[in-house]
Amino acid sequence: MGPLKRIAREIRYLDGLARTLWRVRKIDPDSDVLICDDFEEAVDKFADHTALIFEGERYTYRQLDALANRFAAWANARRLKHGDTVALLLPNRAEYIPAWMGLAKIGVASALINNNLTGAALAHCLSISNASHVITDSEGLAAVETIRAGLARPLSYWVIDAEFGAAPDRQPLDLKTPKPAPERPARSLRAGQKARDVALYIYTSGTTGMPKAAKITHMRAQLYMRSFAGATKANAEDNIYCVLPLYHATGGLCGVGSALLNGGTVVLRRKFSATHFWDDIIDNGCTMFVYIGELCRYLVNQDPSPKDREHKLRLAFGNGLRPEVWDEFQARFNVPRIMEFYGSTEGNVSMFNFDGQPGAIGRVPPYLQRNFSVRLVKFDVETEMPVRDENGVCVLCDVGEPGEAVGLIKDDARHNYTGYADKAASERKILRDVLEKGDAWFRTGDLMRQDKDGYFYFVDRIGDTFRWKGENVSTTEVAEVISRYPGVDEANVYGVKIGKLDGRAGMAAITPGEGFQIEGLRDYLAHELPSYARPLFVRITPAIETTGTFKYRKVDLVRDGFDPAKIEHAVYFDEPEADAYKQITPELYAQINDGAFKL
């Protein structure tokens, strides 16, 4: 990179960093300014601007605030107060943000429940929410009907747009009468609350088990919303497209905050549709959209259309955009800027890739390293713990060396760690004696590497990286290679146990598309990957299960292993003697486990 390009890069980075830090500078855990105060300030400033467009309906800031006040009045009539929690079991809809914002106005926390959950997972999330009331719709109520017996205690259900009569445990939630909108609730109803108090419970995706409820304080919600309001450089003329679920932070706080704290408009859709995406973007004059990486890959996999470049987008921002998709997405759809960021719902490590380096999840330049409390520590894949030196402290990674990202825990807005509702789960995420005895750092559970210019690159999730033939294998890197093979729509890589062998062998679940041929896959992988990293097993599946934010679920795949009795579709074994993937039969399965092959 030449000196002029290097200077331009640093200017872009420092400009983005300065805007972001300026917006969050006044956040204080002991402040009595809460997230609902931020919202009311925006309402007073942009009262008649369009705040939200949903399914053809437009809502001004004043109208959204009126909806929020109705929810506050409802909760106040139920005598709910600070310390109480209400569960929201709703899809994306116009009432979603006003619901939790209105509850916050009287000091009540909201538990944001994934409305796609059913069965035991739904029962678990409702039970640990500590809520006595659930605001839902007819679909959510139908899902609840199947798991009531598994709930720890009875709940009262309040149904938006209900078409049934009241019952002891379920009632319609009327948001239209009385006709005059209620006044804003008095600030005295949230008197004594501080920014360090809980505003929301947002649940982890549950990729490896049951979801956990992360505590989102007012301070943390402010950090999300204000930082993205600054980082995106959004203004009152921007229309920001959001198809991500509002029960997660990326859509519900980062995307929403970028618009609503700047006088802009959230263009909200109930759920993502690859076929309607560009129509929505164009018809609504969207200038930005918030993404999860897999969303961009779905769009790239669509057939080319004249509408691919008819938009007015100037920025896409989000996380998880894979390097192999980044360049193709940006070139095909002519999106001027992509701003990738890194962060977790419960953690204190966050970073931005302000200057658009393809594939990087964030950056901390060497000259600012001391100003950021994120470090990469060497990691032992077998013990799944950081490596320590003779003094008992962790060993920092060299440039380019993968390690676990950790963030220093301090009692301020940027470094605070509030953890989960489950105290034991919270403690498991804390790493002590990292750089010196007595310090405490948040464990992200993510392996990353950092280059000489300070860019961070995601390597893998801890637990996803596995060890085979004495080597560490990154499931993410292997999946990226497989995804480039002709006809592969999706690839999910994980490790499985074989009999009494040490380590775990690689296995790939592949969703085939047009032109996929298993016969050529082995030769391709032999050319692209070292022998220890090539999947020993391949499972064909019509679709790969994902969470609401498009993250792959691996727990069931790992449980099935390579047993053909547990797998409905074909599963293959890279037989050493044949140098080809061979379909596994019950007999072959037994031979593999009995050690008939030298692996």
Q: Which of 362, 420, 73 is nearest to 216 (CA)?
A: 420
pLDDT at 546 over 60: no
Name the band, by pLDDT with cuts 50, 70 and 90, for residue 318. very high
Looking at residue 165, what is its pLDDT? 60
Q: How far apart are CA 5 and CA 7, in angstroms?
A: 5
Looking at residue 387, what is its pLDDT? 95
Q: How far apart are CA 472 and CA 540, in angstroms?
A: 25
Looking at residue 545, what is its pLDDT? 66
Give bridge partners of residue 319 from the DSSP assignment: 292
pLDDT at 541 over 80: yes
Name the band, by pLDDT with cuts 50, 70 and 90, for residue 414. confident
Name the band, by pLDDT with cuts 50, 70 and 90, for residue 527. confident
Name the band, by pLDDT with cuts 50, 70 and 90, for residue 158. very high
- Report the sign of the C-alpha dihedral through residues 362, 367, 373, 375, in that order: positive
- Give the count of beta carbons closer than 10 Å to the beta carbon of residue 556: 9
pLDDT at 287 over 90: yes
Looking at residue 373, what is its pLDDT? 92
Name the band, by pLDDT with cuts 50, 70 and 90, for residue 205. low
Name the band, by pLDDT with cuts 50, 70 and 90, for residue 556. confident
Burial 232-244 (b: 16+ CB within 10 A, else e): bbbeeebbbbbbb
Instruction: Collapse the DSSP code of 352 into the 3-class scheme (helix H, G, I; strand E, B; otherwise coil) and give the result.
Output: strand
- Report the sign of the C-alpha dihedral through residues 247, 248, 253, 258, in that order: negative
Name the band, by pLDDT with cuts 50, 70 and 90, for residue 596. confident
What rounded mean pLDDT belongs to the chain? 90
Burial-class residue 141 by CB neighbours within 10 Å (0-12, 13-18, 19+): middle
Q: What string of DSSP letters covers 396-463?
A: BPPTT--EEEEEE--SSTTT----BSSHHHHHHTEEESSSSTT-EEEEEEEEEEE-TT-EEEEEEETT
pTM of the model: 0.82
pLDDT at 355 over 80: yes
Q: Between 414 and 585, where is the model more confident?
A: 585
The mean pLDDT value for 489-503 works out to: 85
Please state which of the ranges 48-57, 398-407, 488-497 shows the lowest mean pLDDT: 488-497
Name the band, by pLDDT with cuts 50, 70 and 90, for residue 74. very high
* Residue pLDDT, tens place only, 130-151: 899 999 998 898 888 888 777 8
Q: Which of 579, 359, 327 is nearest to 459 (CA)?
A: 359
Please state which of the ranges 463-467, 534-538, 559-563, 567-571 shows the lowest mean pLDDT: 463-467
Instruction: Please give the sequence-ordered ranges of beta strands (E in DSSP) within 328-373, or none if there are none.
Output: 338-342, 351-353, 362-363
Query: Contact, 194 vs 31, CB < 8 A?
Result: yes
The mean pLDDT value for 152-165 works out to: 81
Looking at residue 422, what is its pLDDT? 85
- Order of strands, edge to edge, in the sheet holding 288-292? 57-60, 50-54, 265-268, 239-242, 288-292, 315-319, 338-342, 351-353
Q: What six digits make up the tokens of 244?
A: 């991500």
pLDDT at 548 over 60: no
Looking at residue 63, what is its pLDDT? 96
Looking at residue 578, what is its pLDDT? 83
Burial-class residue 271 by CB neighbours within 10 Å (0-12, 13-18, 19+): exposed
Q: Domain spans of the chain? A: 372-461, 466-593
* CATH code reported for the domain at 466-593: 3.30.300.30
Name the band, by pLDDT with cuts 50, 70 and 90, for residue 206. low
Looking at residue 384, what is its pLDDT? 79
The mean pLDDT value for 559-568 works out to: 91
Looking at residue 52, what is its pLDDT? 98
Q: What six digits make up the tokens of 346?
A: 């419960």
Q: How far apart are CA 388 and CA 404, in angstroms?
A: 13
Looking at residue 166, what is its pLDDT? 62
Q: What six digits make up the tokens of 255?
A: 């995307």
pLDDT at 549 over 70: no
The mean pLDDT value for 297-310 works out to: 90
Looking at residue 470, what is its pLDDT? 61
Please state which of the ranges 122-126, 264-268, 288-292, 585-589 shows the lowest mean pLDDT: 122-126
Q: For the chain, what percent of residues have pLDDT higher than 90?
A: 65
Q: How far apart are CA 200 and CA 213, in angstroms?
A: 9
Q: Between 460 and 304, where is the model more confident?
A: 304
Name the band, by pLDDT with cuts 50, 70 and 90, for residue 164. low
Domain 372-461 falls in which CATH fold? Luciferase; domain 3 (2.30.38)
Query: Contact, 231 vs 317, CB < 8 A?
Result: yes
